[in-house]
C-alpha cells in the first residue's frame, strides 16, 4: 500500500485538485477582469450549445476519429510487418525516433513541407505536375496529416505488442483447416490483435481530441479545434468559466470513448464462446 502513496499523492495534488477546481469554475460566474466570481450557474454550458461551438466540437470529434482511422489503417500493417521482421528492434526504434524531438519542432517541419514554397510544392512544380503551388497548409488536410504523423506511434506500439505474442503456429493451424490468407487475417490475426487495436485507437483518439498545437499551426485560424477554444478562453479571452466548461465537454467525450473501448473489450471476452 505504501508503494501507492507517492503516485496517489502526485495525481491527487496535480490532477484531481486542478480538475475539481475547473469543475467548480465551470459552474460559477465570470469575473469582470477575468477569474471567477461566486454564484452557481449553468450559463457556460448553455453557451456551448451555440451552433458555433457545437460545430467546433463536431469538427474536433470528426478529425480525431478520422485521424484514428487513418492511424489504424497505416499502423496495423506496419505493426504486422515489424512483428514478423528480423529487424524488429531497428524498426521499432525508427517508429519511436520522432519522439526524440519536440512535438512543436516536428509540427514546424510539416509547415516547411507543405507551405507554398515548401518541399512538396517545389517538387510538384519542378516535375511539372502543377502549374502553381497547391494550397496545402492551413487546410483540414494539413491538420489531419499533423495528427496522424504525431500519433501514429501510439497506434503501432500496442498493436505490435499484441501481434508479437501471436504464435505463428496458429496461422499454420488455420491454413491446415482451410483458411485462406484473408480468413487467417480476419479470423485469427485480427481478433487476437484486438486488445492492441482498441488500446491503440484510444491512445490516438484521446490526445487527438485535445490537441491544439497541430490545428493552430497547420490549420490556421479557420480550422479551430476544441483545444484551441479552451486555450483561447484561458488566455486572450480571459473567460475561465467558459474555458472550464468547454474542457468538461471534452472530458465527457473522452469518458465516452473510454467506456466504449471497455465495452468492446468485454464483448471480446464473451464473443468466442458463442
Partner 1 sequence: MPIAQFLRVSKTFHAVRAVQDVSFDIRRGEFFSLLGPSGCGKTTTLRLLAGLEAPDPGGQIFISGERAEAKRPYQRRLGMVFQNYALFPHLSVERNVAFGLERHRVPAAEIPGRVARALELVRLYPAEFARRRPAELSGGQRQRVALARALVLEPDMLLLDEPLGAIDLKLRKTMQLELRQLNKSLGITFVYVTHDQDEALTMSDRIAVMDRGCVVQIGTPAEIYERPRTAFVATFIGESNLIKTDGGTVVAVRPEWADLSPRGTVSPGRNALDGMVDEVIYTGEMIRVMIALDRPTVRPSDSPHRFTVALRNSGQLTRPLSWSPGDLVSVSWRPEDARLLEDG
Which residues of this chain interact with partner 1, rule CB under 8 A? 167, 169-170, 172-179, 183, 187-188, 191-192, 268, 271-274
Nearest distance in Å: CB 191, partner 1: 5
| Paired residues of 29 in beta bridges | 37
Helix (H, G, I), strand (E, B) or coil at 133: coil
Q: Which residue, 43 or 167, has its beta carbon nearer to partner 1?
A: 167
Nearest distance in Å: CB 272, partner 1: 5
* Distance separating alpha carbons of residues 247 and 26, to the nearest angstrom: 9
Please give the backbone phi and psi of residue 40, each rounded to the nearest 5 degrees, phi first: -90, 140
Q: Which residue, 16 or 170, has its beta carbon nearer to partner 1?
A: 170
| Helix or strand run (H / E) with residue 99 | none
Nearest distance in Å: CB 167, partner 1: 6
139 secondary structure, DSSP code: S
Cell of 99: 519522439
Distances (CA, A) of 216 to 142, 220, 227, 241: 11, 6, 9, 22
Q: Which residue, 266 or 271, has its beta carbon nearer to partner 1?
A: 271
Q: Which residue, 80 or 141, has its beta carbon nearer to partner 1?
A: 80
Nearest distance in Å: CB 88, partner 1: 18
Q: Which residue, 23 or 161, has its beta carbon nearer to partner 1?
A: 161
Q: Is 132 exposed, middle or buried (0-12, 13-18, 19+ CB in 10 A)?
A: exposed
* Distance separating alpha carbons of residues 194 and 46, to the nearest angstrom: 39
Nearest distance in Å: CB 119, partner 1: 42
Amino acid at each position: 500500500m505504501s508503494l501507492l502513496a507517492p503516485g496517489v499523492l502526485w495525481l491527487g495534488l496535480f490532477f484531481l485538485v486542478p480538475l475539481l477546481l475547473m469543475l467548480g469554475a465551470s459552474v460559477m460566474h465570470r469575473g469582470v477582469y477575468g477569474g471567477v466570481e461566486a454564484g452557481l450557474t449553468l450559463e457556460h454550458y448553455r453557451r456551448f450549445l451555440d451552433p458555433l461551438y457545437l460545430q467546433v466540437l463536431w469538427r474536433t470529434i470528426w478529425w480525431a476519429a478520422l485521424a484514428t482511422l487513418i492511424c489504424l489503417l497505416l499502423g496495423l500493417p506496419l505493426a504486422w510487418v515489424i512483428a514478423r521482421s528480423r529487424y524488429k528492434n531497428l524498426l521499432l526504434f525508427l517508429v519511436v525516433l520522432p519522439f526524440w524531438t519536440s512535438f512543436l519542432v516536428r509540427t514546424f517541419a510539416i509547415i516547411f513541407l507543405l507551405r507554398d514554397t515548401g518541399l512538396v510544392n517545389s517538387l510538384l512544380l519542378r516535375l511539372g505536375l502543377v502549374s502553381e503551388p497547391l494550397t496545402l497548409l492551413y487546410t483540414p488536410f494539413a491538420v489531419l496529416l499533423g495528427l496522424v504523423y504525431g500519433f501514429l506511434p501510439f497506434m503501432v506500439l500496442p498493436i505490435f505488442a499484441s501481434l508479437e505474442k501471436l504464435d505463428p503456429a496458429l496461422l499454420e493451424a488455420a491454413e491446415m483447416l482451410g483458411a485462406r490468407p484473408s480468413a487467417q487475417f480476419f479470423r485469427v490475426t485480427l481478433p487476437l490483435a484486438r486488445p492492441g487495436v482498441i488500446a491503440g485507437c484510444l491512445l490516438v483518439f484521446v490526445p487527438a481530441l485535445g490537441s491544439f498545437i497541430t490545428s493552430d499551426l497547420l490549420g490556421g485560424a479557420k480550422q479551430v479545434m476544441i483545444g484551441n477554444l479552451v486555450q483561447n478562453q484561458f488566455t486572450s479571452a480571459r473567460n475561465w468559466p467558459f474555458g472550464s466548461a468547454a474542457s468538461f465537454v471534452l472530458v465527457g467525450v473522452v469518458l465516452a470513448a473510454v467506456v466504449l473501448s471497455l465495452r468492446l473489450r468485454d464483448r471480446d471476452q464473451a464473443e468466442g464462446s458463442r
